[in-house]
Amino acid sequence: MRSRRSVLMAKAGLLLWAALASQHAFAQAPVPSQFPPYDPPRTADGHPDLNGVWQSLTTANWDIEAHGAAPGPYPELLGAWGAQPGGVSIIEGGTIPYQPWALERKRERLDSRTTVSVPGDGVDPPLGDPELKCWMPGVPRSMYMPYPMQIVQTPEFVLFAHEFNGTARIIRMNWDEESPVDDTFFMGWSRAHWDGDTLVIDVTGLNEDNWLDRAGNYYSAAVHIVERLTLVSPYHLMYEATIEDPNVYTRPWTIRFPLYRRMEANARLMEFKCQPFVEEMLYGQFTKTTD
């Protein structure tokens, strides 16, 4: 009996190992290969029609690397509200190739993510997750926040409108010009072209105050991002971004995940202007009076 039980346990262990290995391979494999060839609907100029309301279903806004479930800030007050769901990495290879000093800074950001500072405090870089302060989310974070986004496509421009904070990004098609100002922006300077049926977006001029997620992952103002968007079915838009920053990372690295078309009747962006929600947290110290 003991021998038979051992054999059954060994078989169960092998099956579990095979299932986990298969799941890992599925998560790491380039997702477009999982879809059959697809000829998308096209606009009048012959390019794939990306118009619509789309949304990511990843947990990358909490952490773009693999992570387990965890309590949110102040669980003694909020319980399960704000808790972090577990999730797989959206990074090709699994982890961000930080330089050693940069990885330590990332850990410091995580530890201080709810300690906020604002411009003028003399703290550089500012403390606290930009999402917590209702700042614009930056690129590529805006693409995997848990809010829908809308794409409005024309031959000259493509608009990415995000529900979070009413953030908008204008993509300029076939432009050679660099940013007209010598400064950086939360959403950067985006220029694009078509590579076959893939929209390729070149993004520079991003603000070094941006975070990639709530876990404190980040880049510097030297970052250069190339995004690729490809329709792979009527309901799936594959998103890929290669991130290069020699000031922070040892090599370029890539994230990849699908965006899902919102199919409910009258799908649209709702208003989520979060500034009133953070006024007391950020500026209450300046409005309080003392006797």
CATH of the domain at 112: 2.40.128.20
What are the start-end ranges of the H helices in the chain?
2-28, 75-78, 100-111, 275-287
In a domain, 37, yes or no: no
In a domain, 94, yes or no: yes
Distance separating alpha carbons of residues 114 and 117, to the nearest angstrom:
10
In a domain, 8, yes or no: no
Distance separating alpha carbons of residues 176 and 58, to the nearest angstrom:
34
CA angle 263, 200, 25 (to 5 degrees): 70
> What confidence category does residue 40 fall into, taking pLDDT thresholds of 50, 70 and 90?
very high
In a domain, 76, yes or no: no
Structural domains of the chain, count: 1
In a domain, 89, yes or no: yes
- Which domain does 100 fall in, by range? 42-68+85-286
Is the model's pLDDT at 84 over the cut of 70?
yes
pLDDT digit string, tens, across residues 157-206: 999 999 999 999 999 999 999 988 888 999 999 999 999 999 999 999 99
Tokens representing 169 are: 């990004």
In a domain, 168, yes or no: yes
pLDDT at 35: 81
Show Cβ contacts of residue 144 under 8 Å, excluding neighbours closer than 6 positions: 56, 58, 60, 61, 64, 90, 257
Mean pLDDT of 3-13: 51
In a domain, 17, yes or no: no
pTM assigned to the model = 0.85
Is 126 strand, coil or helix? coil
Amino acid at 128: G
In a domain, 21, yes or no: no
pLDDT digit string, tens, across residues 233-285: 999 999 999 999 999 999 999 999 999 999 999 999 999 999 999 988 888 77
Tokens representing 202 are: 């070149």
